[in-house]
Structure 1
């Protein structure tokens, strides 16, 4: 059986991303390891409290030789537009979560709104990644 364990978001600054995802969103650190043998590569993951089998890698954009400077710039450009990655989060009460996260300083790009699939809103992390927060409604089956 294949299971999802980890997703990745590109980030400009791992420390700023760590602060945002832990202090503002409420995720917990899963791993924070620096590997000297790989040029001090930092493997940094966070995840939702109570969901230990899922993690999000907060991945700094590597430079040469892993990624050429042109590609590095393209990734950064897409991040700035909110199109380098999207994370979809669910909640039992979208309005309450919106209010709580807003009080912690999360700046939303969209307020909670009724959709065919539930109540949905959006925000971006400090690197520009798009995040959707949804209170999912059971869809009718045909």
Structure 2
């Protein structure tokens, strides 16, 4: 079987702030920016990985979600407990310094974890947890 990761989805509640964070702070390229009925879906990804993307989507876009569920999602996003993604860097300390100099909310400074990785954590503008680990 030949299966790869094509895209992962994270919610956003401010498309311009999301673009600024993922493009300007993380250095990802914007691959698509689609508007529909007042909502925007933004596809971003690392320039050297054209086959792997993150789709930033409006949390209210799923027609199967009830109004109560939407409120819960928005509340969880505000607390930073709704969604997250793990990224990797070959120079974690330099990446951390760059993110720390931005408006990104620091959750955890670089640390050697007891389970064998070194990582740090931030929140994006929507509250999504972004963990970044050192590659070996």
Give the TM-score normalised by structure 1: 0.84
Give the drift of 1:64. Answer: 8.2
* Counterpart check, 1:2 vs 2:3: yes
Q: Which ranges of structure 2 fall in alignment gaps of 5 or more residues? A: none
Give the drift of 1:66. Answer: 4.8
Aligned residue pairs total 134
Q: Which has the larger radius of gyration?
A: 1
Give the drift of 1:16. Answer: 1.4
RMSD: 1.9
- Would you say the 8 A contact 2:44–2:55 is kept in 1? yes
CA 1:6–1:64: 2 relative to 1, 3 Å: closer
- Would you say the 8 A contact 2:25–2:102 is kept in 1? yes
How far, CA to CA, are the matches of 2:62 and 2:126 in structure 1? 20
How far, CA to CA, are the matches of 1:122 and 1:62 in structure 2? 26
Runs of 4+ in 1 over 4 A off after TM superposition: 63-66
The residue aligned with 2:41 is 43
Q: Which ranges of structure 1 fall in alignment gaps of 5 or more residues? A: 138-142
Give the drift of 1:50. Answer: 0.7
- For the residue of structure 1 that corresponds to 2:22, the secondary structure is helix
1:56-135 alignment runs, 5 A limit: 56-62=54-60, 65-115=63-113, 116-135=115-134
How far, CA to CA, are the matches of 2:57 and 2:66 in structure 1? 16
